């Protein structure tokens, strides 16, 4: 089992950088620069500093620990899983540095008791402060503010990272994500930003009902109170009289007969199929 507290941060950075480099290079070969979809994380040119040197620089000046580093992998993988039709968000040599520093900012603030303001993160990461603020907000929306990673999952990710050769998942079509092999091998995969994945029966399959068709009026508009858009007044109670309940007056009996005839028109037909009712509103039919 991966020991988050005792594993050297340098060893985690070495394996993490090798994995990111391998996945970014594979995406570059498979997809190219994806010039048609340039995200705020893209650089005009590939930065000269390597991913490993970049991680070591950030870890040195903001005191990163293993939990924040592993959370970076999880966040970047969640972005790729949530945006499968935007290959430009997959790690590549043009965007990986900004993705890393932004994920570090979010992971450090969420998982550490001591963190810094964005002015220091931007200085360490080599980007302007205004851009750092924009990238942080952009990534928060990309992950839909789903930042929690269980300690058990961090241990599983760390153990997988230290035991596997850094290479993209050959069984996955491009764009390649960072933790696709981990998802296939582990019993506790990272949630894919869908709250229904935690339900007892898994993710809810898609369902699309036919468009709403306005109902036809029932028997010249009978059935008082059935149309919720137009509430009907409740029938008034008959006036009290000196007659006993066992012998109601003729006016009360007449009202009951009329109500019975009206309500019987609203009963389902003999075959059991329910008549449509108009509840008001809804989309118009094509």
Please state, for a pLDDT cut of 90, what percent of the chain lies above it: 30
Three-state SS for 73?
Answer: helix
Q: What is the mean pLDDT of the chain?
A: 72
How many C-beta atoms surround the C-beta of residue 13 within 10 A? 21
Coil, helix or strand at residue 249: coil
* pLDDT score, position 279: 34
Residue 27 phi, psi dihedral angles, 5° rounding: -65, -35
- Cβ neighbour number for residue 63 with a 10 Å cutoff: 14
Q: How far apart are CA 155 and CA 30, in angstroms?
A: 31
pLDDT at 150 over 90: no
Biggest CA-to-CA distance, the chain: 101
> Which pLDDT does position 181 carry in this prediction?
61
Confidence band, pLDDT 50/70/90 cuts, at residue 180:
low
Whether residue 109 has pLDDT greater than 90 = yes
What Cα–Cα distance (Å) separates residue 119 from each residue in 62, 99, 106, 130, 255?
12, 17, 14, 9, 80
What is the structure's pLDDT at 163? Answer: 81
Structural domains in the chain, sorted by start:
9-194 (1.10.472.10), 213-237+244-266+274-281 (no CATH)
Confidence of residue 107 (pLDDT cuts 50, 70, 90): very high
Output the CA torsion sign for 31, 34, 40, 46.
positive
């Amino acid at each position: 089992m991966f020991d988050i507290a005792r594993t050297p941060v340098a060893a985690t950075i070495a394996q993490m950088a090798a994995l990111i480099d391998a996945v970014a290079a594979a995406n570059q070969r498979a997809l190219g620069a994806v010039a048609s979809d340039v995200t705020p994380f893209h650089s005009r040119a590939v930065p000269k500093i390597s991913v490993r040197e970049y991680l070591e620089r950030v870890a040195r000046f903001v005191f990163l620990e293993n939990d924040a580093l592993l959370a970076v992998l999880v966040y970047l993988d969640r972005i790729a899983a949530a945006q499968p039709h935007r290959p430009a968000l997959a790690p590549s040599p043009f965007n990986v540095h900004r993705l890393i520093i932004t994920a570090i900012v979010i992971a450090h603030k969420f998982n550490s008791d001591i963190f810094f303001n964005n002015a220091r993160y931007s200085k360490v990461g080599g980007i302007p402060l205004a851009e750092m603020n924009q990238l942080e907000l952009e990534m928060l929306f990309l992950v839909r503010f789903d930042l929690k990673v269980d300690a058990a999952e961090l241990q599983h990710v760390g153990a997988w990272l230290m035991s596997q050769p850094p290479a993209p998942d050959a069984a996955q079509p491009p764009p390649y994500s960072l933790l696709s092999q981990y998802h296939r091998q582990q019993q506790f995969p990272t949630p894919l930003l869908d709250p229904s994945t935690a339900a007892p029966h898994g993710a809810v399959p898609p369902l699309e009902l036919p468009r709403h068709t306005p109902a036809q009026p029932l028997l010249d508009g009978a059935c008082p109170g059935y149309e919720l858009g137009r509430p009907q007044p409740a029938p008034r109670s008959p006036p009290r009289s000196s007659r006993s309940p066992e012998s109601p007056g003729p006016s009360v009996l007449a009202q009951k007969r009329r109500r019975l005839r009206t309500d019987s028109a609203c009963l389902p037909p003999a075959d059991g199929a329910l008549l449509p009712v108009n509840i008001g509103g809804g989309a118009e039919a094509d």
